[in-house]
Amino acid sequence: MANTDFHLQFQEFEDEQGFTENNQGATTVTIDDPIKSRKQRKATGTAFEEEDNDDKTELLSGQRKSAPFWTFEYYQTLFDVDSHQVKNRIIGSILPWPGKNFVEVYLRSNPDLYGPFWICATLVFAIAVSGNISSFLVNQGQPKFRYVPDFSKVTMAATAIYSYAWLVPLALWGFLTWRNRKITSLVSYSFLQIVCVYGYSLSIYIPAVILWIIPSEGLRWCSIVVALCLSGSVLVMTFWPAIRDDKPRITIAIISTIVILHVLLAVGCKVCFFSTYEMDPSKDHNEPSTATNTSSSTKPK
């Protein structure tokens, strides 16, 4: 009976701190107020949802603050593009469709420098390598010919390509900005958008330059015409909305300048790096004899 009364009596336990000190190896379980815990979880989840919603709103509305141009984060955004976007932009620059603006369809407000940079770099090395191979094929079989790679073609090609891809967009952007201040109805493009358009428009020249290895003038000029028509169409259709409301003579002058500079780049690369010049065998054979005669005539008698 005493044992029964002992089990029925209420026992007073030690406080939490004392119990923990006396039983250090014991496992403790804390039971919080379920209402309070639910409120805390709800408040935490609401805070995270608000942050996610704010980020989504900024991304969709395009109001996310951009970093200053002197910081690494600013230039990091210009290379934040995936391979799928680059592939679509290359296809769009090779296969232009009438009525489709390259900026509105492919770039929108997200121009990149990743594609233009590597397209220009690939084109530079394609011109240099193809030019050296073409020179070897043209002069192959000549008795005095000894193949030596001309690495100066890399420097020349890089100067020409990168100057065209940066200086021409800079001049065009400055002119369009000046005209946009006079005529507010004109469509305005940013400098990065213009650079991006010019960079992707050069992608068609990479397969064309590879075809220039074949020592056939007809094939070379045919590939030049095709590349000029495709890439030139992209440039004209892209910049036409920005100048169509201007004065007719200014519109014609801008379009003509864009096309002429594009033609000069293609024709200049072909003439400078891919020549059909062949060594003159008679000249090579005559040079040693001339030197011999000269040396013999100078001998004292």
Taking the domains of the chain in order of start, what are their residue ranges? 82-91+108-274
217-243 and 191-201 are packed helices; what angle lies between their axes, rounded to 10 degrees? 160
Between the alpha carbon of residue 262 and those of residues 158, 235, 256, 257, the distances in Å are: 16, 9, 10, 8
Q: Residue 265 pLDDT more than 70?
A: yes
Q: Residue 110 pLDDT more than 80?
A: yes
pLDDT, average across residues 112-137: 91
* pLDDT at residue number 277: 53
pLDDT, average across residues 12-16: 54
* pLDDT at residue number 296: 41
**Lowest-confidence segment of 19-28, 42-51, 222-231, 245-254 by average pLDDT:** 42-51
Task: Say if residues 115 and 90 touch (Cβ distance below 8 Å).
Answer: yes
More confident residue, 177 or 1: 177
Tens digit of each residue's pLDDT (9 = 90 or more) over 66-81: 666 566 676 677 787 8
pLDDT, average across residues 210-236: 90
* pLDDT at residue number 287: 41
161 pLDDT tier (thresholds 50, 70, 90)? very high
217 pLDDT tier (thresholds 50, 70, 90)? confident
117 pLDDT tier (thresholds 50, 70, 90)? very high
pLDDT, average across residues 164-170: 94
* pLDDT at residue number 66: 61
More confident residue, 119 or 34: 119
Q: Residue 293 pLDDT more than 50?
A: no
More confident residue, 21 or 262: 262
Which ranges in the chain belong to alpha helices (H)? 2-8, 16-22, 34-61, 72-78, 83-94, 102, 114-139, 152-182, 191-201, 205-211, 217-243, 248-273, 281-297
Q: Residue 27 pLDDT more than 70?
A: no
* pLDDT at residue number 162: 94
Q: Residue 261 pLDDT more than 90?
A: yes
- Please provide the DSSP assignment of 203-245 as one string: GGHHHHHHHTTS--HHHHHHHHHHHHHHHHHHHHHHHHHHHTT
More confident residue, 188 or 86: 86
Tens digit of each residue's pLDDT (9 = 90 or more) over 76-98: 777 878 889 899 999 999 888 87
pLDDT, average across residues 215-244: 90
Q: Residue 207 pLDDT more than 50?
A: yes
